[in-house]
């Protein structure tokens, strides 16, 4: 029998349930889970803040596993055969239809009505489709990527779902060599964005957060300046930029009030990426004249990521893991039965990233 | 003696003053004014809403004139000699330094500390440096463009300062063939943006405004749909776009509340240009999650225009004036002594564009 | 029995063969063919110039038909049910895998190893998978689009495969309002590009070709200047652009020698799209210093098109068919048995576009 | 008296001439030269390969000096006062008019008819307007930048004119994190491009050159692979990119034959920057079908650089000089009288970069 941690319904205690060993269909893969994660979305799922979630839910959308069985010949995204013992990860987003207006014309696959996500929109009654489990069942067609040189399971989880998200944001930020960059928020997305901005050749990277231990992680990651939210970050950024403001700002805080402050931190004609507002935390005030029009601001909302970000995240981690200490994003490891602690630690921001080790 | 209309100081009645015929220096040009305009900025100037304005002020920043005299050999922007009798216009923005960080690195010449503007930041005590005057003095170095085939003085003023501004916005909008476009506001910038969106190959253009006579002008300009502000424009736009929202939205209303509505009108992954917020009309509420992040919205503030927009505006007006009735933007003509009426008509939105004919 | 025209093998005469009425599987659709086309690619197919083609071949990749039968519930790309009697077209490209590096990371689906194309890489032995046939079998998953208001079957074929190709090229050309544009070649792609450049707001469009009747079609389409290839087109373009050269040039000629000439026609800092070199007609000489480096030229090769171009082509044709006479691209209609004439007329450039009417 | 090295006319021996100490006009600055350079352009100037050069010529376009005198108050580009003893550099390009079509509309200031360049288009009879001199006279309006923290005069010359050129090319290359990049040519531009590609977050950088000592410099700079031109570089690049080719290729070789090879090295849908073809070394063959169209290649010619690249080059050198050993670009130092050796060493490619120390 397979043990897994399940959210039975919103606000209810996590339960350890057992599932039968799944039967494998052609094209499917069964993984022995090596590592999964608790991210901010999991806290929202626990509190029932996302709509359309089929409880009971087996969470864990980014995970790494060792291949335990394959349903005949299965290939990874490079076309190489997947074999028992391979260490792989997979894209949690599954079954975008490639047939509707959003997939084909709008190129906004996150709006595809057939889109399903491991650990979020697949329910526990549909099988082992989340990472808080000793085994994960990869349905036929799930996109499989093997871990590259130097990328351990825990390092991949340290990047976690925040890394492709941050990569999408940093791509959109179009950082040029020497640009001065501010990251608002030093959570998993913000710390990844900090590393990626540095790796992109930013001339200066400042990180803003309210929590000292998060700013320490940013410092370890290489941030040039760690700015406490209470210390007038707009003034601090202007002081570091000859009074002009940042060339690029990336919002990764989830706080609606950060948006007006981010506009103010960015220079006239600068670029501002809003990637942290993943749940509806209510409205915010901005001044359209001062913050948008007069500033000639370029503001880009960034939602989700696609497979290209996931694939490139692996390349980037393999390339840069020795230069930027991604492992510092991981604050603590938890077994399946410790997941309630992990959820409350993430919620209270006591840890940056919680790693789940279902088999250990 | 030269007669001109002057704002002596904010809130004071317009005065007709007389000036001596200016002496001409080498490289300068004196124009007999054929047409100038009253735009929304002039109303703000009258009410003292802009900072750094050297009253008494001789307004009128976009104007057309006949060359009355030249200070020796003077060339237009194409390198051709300017001769007495030529019908020309000129860029109101003068003396950006081409030497500071904003001019050279930031490419934001509107932030150049040496920037001076005819009719706005030059005062009446510095000479005939505005269009509400029988003569205009073009200092050496003012950028002169002659009217092209088919472009009458009044047609150029119908485009007015709104045309290069709208061109800048429509360039930034990156409209693709077949895109569905919404314009918020049917004032001078909005009507120009409507014509330019149609000329760019938009598949559908809707215009939103509160005033019926402005929507009629939009209809005459060729808008596919004219939507009254009171008639739930978000629903109307969704109905015209299979529920998805506009591919591109251009805000040209000046109303802070338009920004949230514009976000809602735009489809996921769409593009939103905010060009109408030229003065500080206070804050507005937006929902960062719904309006920016989840929508993957691309929002671009647009401030001012540069000479390239001015020059291309002439080409575009010459090319398209027979297809789109720009002259419909002009609601009424006024002499110098009627300028108080023009100001109150523009302020009350009784007219879209007021043309000033200083010499009759 | 169904009659269809087949290329038995390269260089062999076209044969009219009969096929049994196909049995329909769930999700498939059978069309009664209303119109198909002969394009330049069909001539290459007849001469065996493309590799990997499974002869005997039933050509005809862009076609329109009336739905004769459906395999249960089938939906078009908007999600609407497809019903018997509907007039529809479909994307000839089928079965890109959405699972390989080219589909997912490189976003170059034309390099997907599973890509199959109606009338080109499906053979006659696989069924009625080409338009030179009384019936066409649409396999499950073929992307179906219905004809919009004002778009007749013949008008859609007039646009034909050249319209999405030209749209892709014109998108990449990034034409701005007022830009002066040159099209090299007045065949199907060039004439479509001419109409689309005009619809995009070009300030001037010149078309270059060697054949007088093709330049007449360009004139009818609205080209501002029709330039005979023998009349020194570089000089003609410079004369129309104050000596600077075109802002944008689109190569749609298929002649390797056109590339150096196109570079010369384009202004310093201009943009050049090469879309016409669909088969290997050998090398060409360019001067890297003069044509690329010193000119600061932006040159973009353009290969194929994807579904988004196909879908937007329908919107664009519906929007603009009354302004630009697309039907002028069609020179002549042919029945199935007249296809040999159609092929030789296209090859000899006696016609611009040959329409095939398999049932008429 | 001031000593300077002068090319009296093409092909003639370099002469050491003396000049009187210049009189200083308001706004001008006199520098004691700390370092200048011999670059490939200087070899071309010596051989008379550039047109419009006013011999006798005092070459040396990128230089560093200590301020010896100022003509009253002079400010650098940040607005700070320039004082005697400051260590500064300056933009060699002077007097673009900011008034013609190329400056204002085309944004191609390298085509401005009034453009003048220190050491190239100013002649020795106009004064000390080149760096091969004990003193340099900076005319009023020359753009002055002071050396930043960590940037020594020799380090700035190691970057030299190649650094802003390479920065312009790498900006246009739009390298994304993890991209695999090839640089063709390991001269001053190529080595700078190698460092900048690495600093931009490239996932792999390969450098191709014919000379072993240049490839050694590339290795020292951090290139992942150094590929000898004779060793089938296309195959080597494909082997390093899973057979696909480089995401981005930068040509910095000056060899016309490199262009076809560069196209072949680049993946389908990749990006190719041609920056090395600064003089006309004759034509080259390409295959438009294979190299441009079918490859969907994006090819960008890159000509010159502007002040923004110059200014950012200083920021970048200050930021990254400890990570990438720019000083390795400098092969040897020369006094004024050794300049003939420097020219022949550069011409024979015995050195990568020759530094001139006019004062010892």
pLDDT tens across C73-94, in order? 999 988 899 999 999 999 999 8
Instruction: Give the pLDDT of residue D96.
Output: 84
A199 touches chain D (CB under 8 A): yes
Chain B residues within 8 A of C167 when measuring between CB atoms: 177
CB of C312 within 8 Å of a chain B CB? The answer is yes
Q: Does C312 sit within 8 Å of A104, measured CB to CB? A: no
Chain B within 8 Å of C196 (Cβ-Cβ)? Answer: yes
| Domain A162-301 sits in CATH 3.40.1190.20 | no
Listed as ranges, residues in chain D with pLDDT below 70 are none
Strands (E), A45-130: 64-70, 87-90, 93-94, 116-117
CATH architecture of the region C2-146+325-356: Alpha-Beta Complex (3.90)
Nearest Cα of chain D lies from the Cα of B88 at a distance, in angstroms, of 16
User: Using the beta-carbon criterion (under 8 Å), do A143 and C105 form an inter-chain contact?
Assistant: no
Measuring CA to CA, which residue among D190, D151, D240, D232 is closest to residue D39? D190
- Min Cα–Cα distance to chain B from C225, Å: 15
Strands D204-209 and D225-228: parallel
Distance CA C263, CA C286 (A): 9
B222 class by beta-carbon count within 10 Å (0-12 exposed, 13-18 middle, 19+ buried): middle
**Nearest by CB to A177, which of D167, D203, D242?**
D167
Of C111, C285, C292, which is closest to D268 when you measure between CB atoms?
C111
List alpha helices for chain D, DSSP H. Answer: 40-46, 101-104, 153-159, 162-173, 188-199, 212-221, 233-239, 258-265, 307-320, 339-347
Asked if D27 is an interface residue toward chain A (Cβ–Cβ < 8 A), one would say no
Looking at the complex, does the CB of residue B78 fall below 8 Å from at least one CB of chain D? Answer: yes
pLDDT tens digit sequence for A241-287: 999 999 999 999 999 999 999 999 999 999 999 999 988 999 999 99
CB contact under 8 A, C170 and B177: yes
Buried b or exposed e, range D228-245, using 16+ CB within 10 angstroms: ebeeebbebbbebbeebb
- Segments of chain B assigned to CATH 3.40.50.720: 162-301
Asked whether the beta carbons of residue D308 and residue B104 sit closer than 8 angstroms, the reply is: yes
The whole-angstrom separation of Cα D170 and Cα A248 is 19
Among A39-53, A125-139, B100-114, C170-184, which stretch is predicted with the lowest mean pLDDT? B100-114
Nearest 5°: the CA angle C159, C162, C165 is: 125
CB pairs under 8 A between B and C: 50
Residue A353 β-bridge partners: A330
Determine the distance in angstroms separating the CA of C292 from the nearest CA of chain A, rounded to an integer.
24
Closest Cβ–Cβ partner in D177, D199, D320 for A167: D177
Contacts of A50 in chain B (CB under 8 A): none
Structure confidence at residue D106 (pLDDT): 82
Q: State the residue for tokens 């523009």.
A: B346
User: Is the omega angle on the peptide bond into residue C56 within 30 degrees of 0, that is, cis?
Assistant: yes
Q: Residues of D numbered 101-130 whose beta carbons fall under 8 angstroms of chain A's beta carbons: which are they?
A: none
Q: Does B319 touch chain C (CB under 8 A)?
A: yes
Which one of A296, A302, A305 makes the best mutation probe of the B interface by having the most chain B beta carbons within 10 Å?
A296
Task: Check if B78 contacts C (Cβ < 8 Å).
Answer: yes
Select from D201, D203, D320 the Cβ nearest to the Cβ of A200: D201
Give me B33's structure tokens. Answer: 């004014």
Question: Of B99, B107, A177, nearest to D91 (Cα)?
Answer: B99
| Predicted local distance difference test score (pLDDT) of residue A228 | 98
Contact D196 A176 (CB under 8 A): no
Say how many Å lie between the first and final Cα of chain A, rounded.
16
Chain C residue whose CA is closest to A306: C104
Integer Cα distance of B336 and B317 in angstroms = 26
List chain D residues with CB under 8 Å of B308: 104-105, 107
With an 8 Å Cβ cutoff, are C276 and D293 in contact? yes
Greatest pairwise CA separation for chain D in angstroms: 63
Please report, for residues A317, B174, B184, B216, B257, the alpha-carbon distance to residue B234 in angstroms, rounded to integers and kept in the order given: 43, 22, 11, 20, 13
- pLDDT at residue B53, rounded to an integer: 94
- Interface check for B201 against chain C (CB to CB < 8 A): the answer is yes
DSSP for D296-334, written as a single string: T-EEEE-----HHHHHHHHHHHHHHTTTS-GGGGEEEEE
B neighbours by CB contacts (3+ pairs under 8 Å): A, C, D
Taking CB atoms and an 8 Å limit, are C178 and B319 in contact across chains? yes
Residue A314 has pLDDT above 80, yes or no: yes
The DSSP output letter for A232 is -
Model confidence at A95, in pLDDT bands (50, 70, 90)?
confident
Asked whether the beta carbons of C29 and C74 are under 8 A apart, the reply is yes
Distance from CA of D297 to the nearest CA of C (A): 5
CB contact under 8 A, B105 and D78: no
D50 touches chain B (CB under 8 A): no
- pTM beyond 0.80: yes
- The helix (run of H) or strand (run of E) holding residue C332 is strand C330-334
Beta carbons of B203 and C176 less than 8 Å apart: no
Contact C288 D107 (CB under 8 A): no
Task: Tell whether B320 is within 8 A of chain D (Cβ).
Answer: no
B312 touches chain D (CB under 8 A): yes
Distance CA C14, CA B358 (A): 77
Neighbours of chain A (3+ CB pairs under 8 A): B, C, D
D295 touches chain C (CB under 8 A): yes
What residues in D contact B105, CB-CB < 8 Å? 77, 307-308, 311-312
For chains C and D, count residue pairs whose Cβ atoms are closer than 8 Å.
Answer: 147
Torsion angle defined by CA atoms of residues A78, A80, A82 and A88, in that order, rounded to the nearest 10 degrees: -40
Residue A195 CB partners (closer than 8 Å, separation 6+): A221, A222, A320, A324, A326
Output the average pLDDT for chain C.
95
D138 class by beta-carbon count within 10 Å (0-12 exposed, 13-18 middle, 19+ buried) = buried
pLDDT at C70: 98
The nearest CA of chain B is from the CA of D331 a distance in Å of 32
User: Per DSSP, which regions of A153-233 are E strands?
Assistant: 180-184, 204-209, 225-228
Q: Touching check for C311 and chain A: CB below 8 Å?
A: yes
Do C99 and A143 make contact, defined as CB atoms within 8 angstroms? Answer: yes
Domain with CATH 3.90.180.10 in chain D: 2-146+325-356
For residues B355 and B335, give the distance between their C-alpha atoms in angstroms, rounded to a whole number: 9
Cα–Cα distance measured from residue D199 to residue A200, given in angstroms and rounded to the nearest whole number = 7
Estimate the crossing angle of helix D212-221 against helix D188-199, to 10 degrees: 20
The three-class DSSP label of residue A43 is helix
Q: Percentage helix, strand, coil, to 5, in chain A?
A: 30, 25, 45
Residue corresponding to tokens 């301020």: D67
Structure tokens at B283: 């804050």
CB C4 within 8 A of CB C134: yes
Q: Cβ contact (<8 Å) for C288 and D256?
A: yes
Q: How confident is the model at residue C331 (pLDDT cuts 50, 70, 90)?
A: confident
Cα separation, D141 vs D82, in Å, equals 13
Using DSSP, state whether D158 is helix, strand or coil: helix
Predicted confidence pLDDT, tens digits, chain B (360 residues): 999 999 999 999 999 999 999 999 999 999 999 999 999 899 999 999 888 899 999 999 999 999 999 999 999 988 899 999 999 999 999 878 888 888 888 877 877 888 899 999 999 999 999 999 999 999 999 999 999 999 999 999 999 999 999 999 999 999 999 999 999 999 999 999 999 999 999 999 999 999 999 999 999 999 999 999 999 999 999 999 999 999 999 999 999 999 999 999 999 999 999 999 988 999 999 999 999 999 999 999 999 888 999 999 999 999 999 999 999 898 899 999 999 999 999 999 889 999 999 998
Residues of chain A found within 8 Å of residue C141, distances taken between Cβ atoms? 99
Distance (Å, rounded) from C-alpha C135 to C-alpha C138?
10
Alpha-carbon gap, residue C110 to C122, rounded angstroms: 15
Residue A207 is predicted with a pLDDT of 98
- CA-wise closest residue to D43 among D172, D166, D187, D153: D187
Q: Are the Cβ atoms of C77 and A101 closer than 8 angstroms?
A: yes
How near does any CA of chain B get to the CA of D100, in Å? 6
Cβ contact, residue pair B259, A292, below 8 Å: yes
- Check residue D50 and give its pLDDT: 87
Option in D79, D101, D308 nearest B105 (CB): D308
CB contact under 8 A, C293 and D287: no
Residue among C73, C82, C104, C315 with most chain A CBs within 10 A, to mutate = C104
Count of Cβ atoms closer than 10 Å to residue C26 Cβ: 10
- By C-alpha distance, which of B51, B44, B59 is closest to B8? B59
**Inter-axis angle of helices C188-199 and C212-221, nearest 10:** 20
Residue D23: partners with Cβ closer than 8 Å, 6 or more residues away: none
On chain B, the residues whose CB falls within 8 A of the CB of D105 are 77, 307-308, 311-312
């Amino acid at each position: 029998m397979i043990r897994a941690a399940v959210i039975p319904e919103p606000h209810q205690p996590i339960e350890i349930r057992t599932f039968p060993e799944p039967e494998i269909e052609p094209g499917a893969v069964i993984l022995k889970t090596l590592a999964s994660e608790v991210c901010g979305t999991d806290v929202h799922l626990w509190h029932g803040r996302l709509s359309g979630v089929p409880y009971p839910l087996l969470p864990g959308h980014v995970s790494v596993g060792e291949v335990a069985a394959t349903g005949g010949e299965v290939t990874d995204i490079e076309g190489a055969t997947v074999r028992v013992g391979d260490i792989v990860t997979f894209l949690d987003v599954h079954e975008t239809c490639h047939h509707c207006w959003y997939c084909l014309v709008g190129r906004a696959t996150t709006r595809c009505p057939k889109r399903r996500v491991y650990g979020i929109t697949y329910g526990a009654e549909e099988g082992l489709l989340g990472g808080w489990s000793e085994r994960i069942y990869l349905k036929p067609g799930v996109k499989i990527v093997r871990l590259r040189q130097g990328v351990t399971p825990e390092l991949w989880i340290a990047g976690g779902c925040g890394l492709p998200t941050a990569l999408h944001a940093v791509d959109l930020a179009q950082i040029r060599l020497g640009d001065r960059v501010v990251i608002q928020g030093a959570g998993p997305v913000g710390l990844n964005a900090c590393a990626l901005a540095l790796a992109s050749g930013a001339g200066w990277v400042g990180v803003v957060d309210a929590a000292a231990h998060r700013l320490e992680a940013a410092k370890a990651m290489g941030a040039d300046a760690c700015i406490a939210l209470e210390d007038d970050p707009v003034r601090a950024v202007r002081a570091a930029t000859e009074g002009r403001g940042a060339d690029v700002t990336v919002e990764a805080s989830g706080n609606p009030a950060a948006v007006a402050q981010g506009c103010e931190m960015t220079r006239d004609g600068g670029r501002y990426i809003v990637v942290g507002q993943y749940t509806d935390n209510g409205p915010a005030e901005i001044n359209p004249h001062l913050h948008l029009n007069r500033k000639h601001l370029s503001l880009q909302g960034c939602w989700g990521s696609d497979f290209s970000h996931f694939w490139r995240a692996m390349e980037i981690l393999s390339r840069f893991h020795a230069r930027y200490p991604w492992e510092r994003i991981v604050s603590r490891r938890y077994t399946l039965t410790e997941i309630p602690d992990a959820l409350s630690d993430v919620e209270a921001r006591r840890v940056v990233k919680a790693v789940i080790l279902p088999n250990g």
